[in-house]
Amino acid sequence: SPAKLAVLGPGGVGKTTVAAAIFCNKQIVDKFGEHRTFVSCESLIAAQSLLETLCKAFDAPVQNGKLLKALMSFLELSPCTLLVLDNLETLWDADSETDNVQTLLKTLSSLNVLTVIVTMRGILPPDGVLWTEPALLPLPVLSIEAAKMTYCAISPTNDDVMLDTLLKDRWMKEQSKLISLGGRKKSKSLNISIALSINSPLMKQNEDAFSLLRIIAYLPAGASVTHLSEISPHLENLTEAQTVLFRTGLAYLTASKRLTILSPIRSYISDYYQIESYEMNGIKAFYFDLATKA
């Protein structure tokens, strides 16, 4: 049966790049030919707007405004088709639209001719879809060497013997502002991308998640999940706070079970959000107690 894949991970880790690489892969092109559609959900505001976009993308004939019926009828008569929904979290995390998006995604996924790939932030794929097993693991953070190779692949000149030192100096001066291609889209500026995640409906509805984010940002190596309740005793629902950070892609778990965040996100939080005194008191109390027991 056609694959149903979710490419997950934190913002800026390369989910769109991976999806685009799959979309343009020779084997994929040979298999699907012109029956491939790549849709960005970044500017969409509702499931209805996604449905309208899909009808236009597939050029499905619509009668009497019945968009879903037109789209399903068109796809059912089509050859094997690939659909990529990029940045789906824009719609999925909008509280008033989650159920509508889930219904549409579930309906599309029921087609036996449609291969679906979605990209979205976080570590949890949308509910309601039987995702292909084994599920894809969230994209990991690049190693230092891999990150350098990526930079060199993009940069027009990479033969400077001082490359490492120059990049480090620019990062120390500009931090997350360095990672920008200009423009006001999240795909062009990491700061804009981070801000959108922080100001998402999920984060706005969960102050505990925002508090936990400030605490983790303050700790250079994050914190072991076994110590979180001691470091942040003021949090009423620690588990829910962690889940929100995972869903928004603002935090992730390391192999050693430490909750941490990417360096650009830590830099952004440091620049724009100050840790609260009660949060600092919890950190101090935990580490003072740890030191006295050593």
Length of the chain: 294
No. of H helices and E strands in the chain? 15, 7
SS3 (DSSP) at 153: helix
| pLDDT tens, residue by residue, 119-168 | 998 888 998 899 999 999 888 877 878 877 777 777 766 566 777 777 77
- CATH of span 4-121: 3.40.50.300
Q: Assign residue 182 a region: left if phi > 0, alpha if psi is -120 to 50, beta otherwise?
A: left
Within 13 Å of residue 186, how many CA atoms lie on the same side as its CB? 20
| pLDDT tens, residue by residue, 238-293 | 999 999 999 888 998 888 999 999 888 998 999 899 999 999 999 999 999 999 98
**What is the rounded average pLDDT of the residues 84-96?**
88
| pLDDT tens, residue by residue, 182-206 | 545 554 467 777 888 898 888 999 9
- CATH of span 194-293: 1.10.10
CA 191 to chain centre: 14
Domain extent listing, the chain: 4-121, 194-293
Angle formed at CA 145 by CA 142 and CA 151, multiple of 5 degrees: 80
Q: What would the two tokens of residue 88 be?
A: 């789906």
